[in-house]
Chain A
């Protein structure tokens, strides 16, 4: 009997709280915290320009690009209808069913108006799954002019930092930054995917002489007392130089003050005596739309995503928060051209490869490799065999993801 009454109670509770459930006429948008205000303004403009879609209730929530993908995958249903994310997440999102392909008409425009790298990043298999937002997810060097005299070689930068007792930051335990070394010496790592986001093949060349040169340089870098692992200006202390991206441009300006300067990544001299230009990924921020069960809502989402990633919105976003546009016309505008950080990035981008699709496990594997270097499990004292064994294991694991 008691059981029964408590069941009734639970039922009553359930009914009384149903009010919290998401409503069908609500369109949720997730963007990084620093662009929530900007996005709200854009949505107002969008509603004015598209009275058909003004009936929806648009809600913008600050969910960073890092969290967005994870949250979307946990529960697609409760996730945002439109969300910003970094391109490395796209295949995960596609295979979890959190992205719908770009509406065909919009797709044509996206492909025509954005730089090819950005379009490639938004494509899985042969299908365009997202709207490019920025082409600035690459990294280059910020440095303190008064400490670093010549930012063109890694050895020179480290010598200057050591002499001044200041730190050089680079996040070598990240799969994203690590490629600066590997791709520089010619070691490759790329994947092929089918249209559903499954990995079908892996082209890896890490367990090679080229890979060894790169890894040796990384352990040598770690051996410098000036080296610190990290890539966030806000968390770095006593900095003279940091490998970081445009999103930290204003933080770097605050930090370095009048000594603020940017440059492409330096060259380094490998163990084989050759000089290599540091490479890396060119990366992109994307905007995705979730699969919808309602046609009208889908149309609204498509239209809004196209609006938020269009030329005007990209220029406005650059003006508001200095995100570098992926739209070709926006890239050509005078203001974008005049930006120091974006200029350094543009120069660096010549040496990078546009980041394609990588399995989620790759990133954690790369962290393991980097951590092994930082913890000196792999160090300047390690034999070539040990280093090669680590690379072989790395490559074998990378290949195992594409089976």
Chain B
């Protein structure tokens, strides 16, 4: 085998090897093994491997039962997503096909079919393994030992079984489902159970990139632009200000360090739905801040903190600093302690000013150590729902933007509004896929630029 193959070739090679292996097992195997091709686990059962054999057999039985009594019906309608319309018998309603459930369970059935093929393959491999062991005159492990291995050499399977199952049902399946929705016309006019929806190909994607009067194009770009700007400021402003505050508090001769930290940390501790909703009201046109400024005669008309688009964006970023600084401060405090004091000592002897020391010692160290963290912060901020939604809900809207989008909407808050307010699921799904693409691209590009990735040697 060549040492370096591209992944595709590698995949085909493995597949080819697998198929040969399946053939060899059959040709070479005894009748127990051959029966196992149809009845899972037959071989192991006959060879006394009750636990494994029963496991395979139950998998097969459960799958067949699922297909017969539940999944098969949905799968057969998967290509149309249902044809029977809801009808009325007198005044009583008789519901027809439910496109939503057909799509969901059809998808589930397809995945389960793939899984059962995998189990079938495992079943064949197990047969082969047992036969070879027996032929060499060795004994098979006892059932007790097989079970015990789940707590020892196979402990990973025990540990991961539940988490993997949970992620499959509540993350993987829904995401696949929503990706499918992006290719249907599932929206407020095609809602289950009363109305059917069906496949429409790439229509929704072409709508996203349509720049006409009612197209999504320009709105999408505006929202995307603000999402990126927001994520940039929310990440780096908090990062540097948080570091600054940490340095201030850690300064020699400053007392009550713990008190300052505790005060700042309050914004992490208090649930955001309380604190942010209150802050929103505080800065409203008729809120406390404007009220007092007018009372004191500093301004005559209220400052439009939330209603002027530019000002609203700035206010959001500033309020986010209020939330974000303490978090970064905690992290920076811990990390700053790790910088060897001698570095500063020698710099001081060389007559470096505090700012020079910050620039040539503290900052490089911090950037190096927290590179990946900054990346996750950035992608996290791309999807920072709470701050935006609890403050402005994406408002103000504008005649320049379509489909409920507001000037402070991030892609996620827009997506949320589409799902909940407009029940425009198809476009929400399209936007969701776009968010994924943006996140993935940003992550890939930035990850490869990180100093800690480029230079594995580390900070000296």
Direct contact of A and B (CB under 8 A): yes
Question: Is B188 interfacial (CB 8 A cutoff)?
Answer: yes
Question: Is B52 interfacial (CB 8 A cutoff)?
Answer: yes
Complex alpha-carbon distance, A150 and B114, angstroms:
77
Question: Is B307 interfacial (CB 8 A cutoff)?
Answer: yes
Interface residue ranges of B38-93 to A (CB < 8 Å): 51-52, 55, 58-59, 62, 86, 88, 90-93
Question: Is A348 interfacial (CB 8 A cutoff)?
Answer: no
- Given A371-B397, A390-B399, does the pair A293, B287 have CB atoms closer than 8 Å? no
- Given A294-B92, A397-B213, does the pair A92, B194 have CB atoms closer than 8 Å? no
Interface residue ranges of B193-212 to A (CB < 8 Å): 193-195
Return the CB mask of B365-406 against A: 1 if under 8 Å, else 0.
Answer: 000000000000000000000000000000111111111101
Complex alpha-carbon distance, A338 and B90, angstroms:
45
Complex alpha-carbon distance, A237 and B420, angstroms:
30
Question: Would B286 and A292 count as touching, CB distance under 8 A?
Answer: no
Question: Would A73 and B52 count as touching, CB distance under 8 A?
Answer: no
Question: Would A377 and B189 count as touching, CB distance under 8 A?
Answer: no
Question: Is A3 interfacial (CB 8 A cutoff)?
Answer: yes
Question: Is B262 interfacial (CB 8 A cutoff)?
Answer: no
Question: Would B285 and A97 count as touching, CB distance under 8 A?
Answer: no
- Given A97-B194, A237-B291, A375-B398, does the pair A228, B286 have CB atoms closer than 8 Å? yes
- Given A4-B59, A76-B194, A237-B287, does the pair A372, B301 have CB atoms closer than 8 Å? no
- Given A6-B161, A374-B307, A375-B309, does the pair A400, B421 have CB atoms closer than 8 Å? no
Question: Is A70 interfacial (CB 8 A cutoff)?
Answer: yes
Q: Determine, out of A38-46, A323-331, A360-368, the stretch whose residues face the partner at the interface.
A: A360-368
CB contacts (< 8 Å) of A2 on chain B: these are 150, 157-158, 161
Question: Would B399 and A70 count as touching, CB distance under 8 A?
Answer: no
Which of B93, B291, B401 has most A Cβ within 10 Å? B93
Return the CB mask of A227-246 against B: 1 if under 8 Å, else 0.
Answer: 01110000111100000000
Complex alpha-carbon distance, A291 and B94, angstroms:
9
Question: Is A95 interfacial (CB 8 A cutoff)?
Answer: yes
A95 to chain B, nearest CB (A): 6
Complex alpha-carbon distance, A376 and B423, angstroms:
31
Return the CB mask of A367-397 against B: 1 if under 8 Å, else 0.
Answer: 1110110111110000000000010011011
Question: Would A1 and B396 count as touching, CB distance under 8 A?
Answer: no
Question: Would A96 and B188 count as touching, CB distance under 8 A?
Answer: yes
Complex alpha-carbon distance, A291 and B193, angstroms:
11
Return the CB mask of B300-332 against A: 1 if under 8 Å, else 0.
Answer: 111010011100000000000000000000000
Question: Is B162 interfacial (CB 8 A cutoff)?
Answer: yes
Question: Would A293 and B94 count as touching, CB distance under 8 A?
Answer: yes
CB contacts (< 8 Å) of B403 on chain A: these are 361, 364
Complex alpha-carbon distance, A4 and B300, angstroms:
71
Complex alpha-carbon distance, A197 and B254, angstroms:
69
Question: Is B117 interfacial (CB 8 A cutoff)?
Answer: no
Interface residue ranges of A210-241 to B (CB < 8 Å): 225, 228-230, 235-238
Return the CB mask of A246-271 against B: 1 if under 8 Å, else 0.
Answer: 00000000000000000000000000
- Given A70-B421, A371-B396, A372-B399, does the pair A292, B92 have CB atoms closer than 8 Å? yes
Question: Would B395 and A95 count as touching, CB distance under 8 A?
Answer: no
CB contacts (< 8 Å) of A4 on chain B: these are 55, 58-59, 62
Question: Would B213 and A400 count as touching, CB distance under 8 A?
Answer: yes
CB contacts (< 8 Å) of B90 on chain A: these are 295
CB closest residue in chain B, given A92: B188
CB closest residue in chain B, given A104: B91
Could you list 15 examples of A-B contacts with CB < 8 Å?
Answer: A1-B55, A2-B161, A70-B421, A73-B423, A77-B193, A95-B188, A96-B188, A96-B423, A97-B193, A291-B88, A294-B92, A295-B91, A374-B304, A375-B308, A400-B214
Query: Which 4 A/B pairs are nearest by Cβ-Cβ distance?
Result: A97-B194, A1-B55, A371-B396, A2-B161
Binding site for B on A (CB under 8 A): 1-7, 10, 70, 73-74, 76-77, 92, 95-98, 100, 103, 165, 167, 173, 198, 225, 228-230, 235-238, 291-295, 298, 360-361, 364, 367-369, 371-372, 374-378, 390, 393-394, 396-397, 400
Q: A173-B397, A228-B302, A372-B397 are in contact. List 17 more A-B contacts (CB 8 A).
A: A10-B165, A76-B191, A77-B193, A96-B188, A96-B191, A96-B423, A97-B193, A100-B91, A236-B286, A237-B287, A238-B291, A298-B92, A367-B397, A371-B397, A375-B398, A393-B213, A396-B213
